[in-house]
Structure 1
Amino acid sequence: MCHPAWGRALTEAHRLKDLARLRRVRDRIDREYAQPLDVEALARGVHMSAGHLSRQFRAAYGESPYSYLMTRRIERAMALLRRGDLSVTEVCFAVGCSSLGTFSTRFTELVGVPPSVYRREAARATVGMPPCVAKQVTRPVRNREAQVKEPQLA
């Protein structure tokens, strides 16, 4: 019979291995956000089932892999829309979305305004602002995936 500490050590080693895989998935999403990615393909890339990847990713990062991917795409779309030289449709396809309707809906959920309104207003709001500051100031707030908790006052 095995010593109980061995079981805990194996569990910890498995958890660390899963965390390393999750980092690889997150890094791949960050790099390849404009490519056609789905949870099944991401899971295959790290030898996990899609369900296990989704559960572990949500536990580690507070949102699903799909939600994380869409947030990356929307962040990049915001930067392209601020430039003002591409249409909303061109931006949609440039960031890897295949449906203008899904893109617009998700953009509105995360940013609070439709992409066309954002494009019009953001160009004026960030005039003269360095791009690195504009990116930080205009970063989307997740309205649905990760609610911000109010601080508890003692």
Structure 2
Amino acid sequence: MSRAVEQSNRRMLRARDAMDRAYAQPLDVAALARIAHVSPAHFTRTFRATFGETPHRYLQRRRVERAMFLLRETGESVTDICFRVGFGSLGTFSRTFRDIVGRSPRDYRRQVTATGVPTCFTKVWTRPSEQFRRSPAPVGPLA
């Protein structure tokens, strides 16, 4: 691996780590591109080439993964979880959750129960499918 590729990968990892830390906050491509020290257009292209999905899709999947955990482990309402993980509307949350998981948040909660299995196994078994990677990257804010 060349030094340039290695540096680019590190910059993308820095931006992805920032997304992981602040997944519930409104994030935009320009702010993430500044973290990676590249232009917004270059950031989107490079992020997709590095991780196999656009920054927007990564952020949505990360939010849904967190929502899945909260649905399994807490008694919070679906609406509260929706806003807690960073979605601005219950409709968008439900549609995105269904696209990624294959069922609604309410159905997911009814069908999945905590069984005392270690969290690492539960995460692997319930990881969202890859079918979600199909739309082009949005322009502007990610949230």
Q: Do both share a fold (TM > 0.5)?
A: yes
Number of residues paired by the alignment?
A: 133
Query: What TM-score, normalized by structure 2, do the two folds share?
Result: 0.84
Asked which structure has the greater RCO (Cα within 8 Å, sep 6+), the reply is 2
Aligned to 2:59, which of 69, 82, 85?
A: 69
Match of 2:112 among 112, 122, 125: 122
Q: CA RMSD in A?
A: 1.7
Aligned partners of 2:11, 2:21: CA distance in 1, in Å?
15
| Length-normalised TM-score, structure 1 | 0.79
Comparing 108-117 with 30-39, greater Cα deviation is found at: 30-39
TM-superposition CA deviations, 1:84-110 (whole Å, max 9, x none): 411111111111111211111111011
What is the CA distance between 1:68 and its match in structure 2? 0.7
2:124 to 116, 121, 136: 136
Structure 1 unaligned runs (5+)?
1-11, 147-154
Give yes or no for the alignment of 1:104 onto 2:104. no
Structure (1 or 2) with the larger CA radius of gyration: 1
Task: State, as a whole percentage, how many aligned pairs show the same letter.
Answer: 49
Q: Secondary structure of 2:26's match?
A: coil
**Aligned mate of 2:69, from 68, 75, 79:** 79
Offset at 1:74? Answer: 0.6
Please list every run of 5 or more consecutive structure 2 residues that lacks an aligned counterpart in the other structure: 135-143
